[in-house]
Amino acid sequence: MNRKIILRKIAVSGVIAALYVALTLAFQPISFYAVQFRISEALMLLPLLFPESWIGLTVGCLLANLFGGGVPLDIIFGTLASMLAVLIVAQMGKASDKKIVKFLSPLPVIVLNGVIVGVVITFCYPGEGFFELSEAAQIGTMFLNMLTVAIGETVVCYVLGVPLLFALSKTGLADLISTGKKKDENEKNN
């Protein structure tokens, strides 16, 4: 791989990391806790178009969680959930039917963040009296947290993320960002 391509990939990942942090912190009141609509999560689908962006997204998530004031377990496991999700999304980008994949790509983000972040929120930020609740009530709270995180991920990924993928593909911006050149209109297949 030539040096210019490597530098372009590093730059794209860096810009994506910065965007993730900026969007998370700009919308901080809705980016954290059990009911969250983290606008920056729309970017989690970008590895379909830019496989190397998983690095920028992972770093961006880590920094956003650090600056957002999370506890260490939340920072670690929230970042790991995002990293696993974007690695799966990047692998989905290798599929032949790009249109279907664009609609399915939010699923790893929704499921992994819903489950992992839902559990983390339950036990890292327990409400007052949480540990006095019965075990069944604690488990119910955990599943409720999983559900609310997954709903937020679903809304952001399908309302913002999927249209972003289609817009980048249809306008040729994905090619311009990846290669520095816009594909000829006849070459577009998305």
Instruction: Supply φ then ψ for residue 52, to 5 degrees.
Output: -70, -10
Token readout for 4 is 């210019």
- Rounded CA separation 20/2 (Å): 27
CA 38 to chain centre: 9
- Helix then strand then coil, in percent of the chain rounded to 5, is 80, 0, 20
User: pTM for the full model?
Assistant: 0.89
Give domain 3-187's CATH architecture: Orthogonal Bundle (1.10)
pLDDT (tens digit per residue) in 11-37 = 999 999 999 999 999 999 999 887 889
Q: What is the per-residue pLDDT across 65-98, written as a single tens digit (0 to 9) for each?
A: 999 988 999 999 999 999 999 999 999 988 878 8
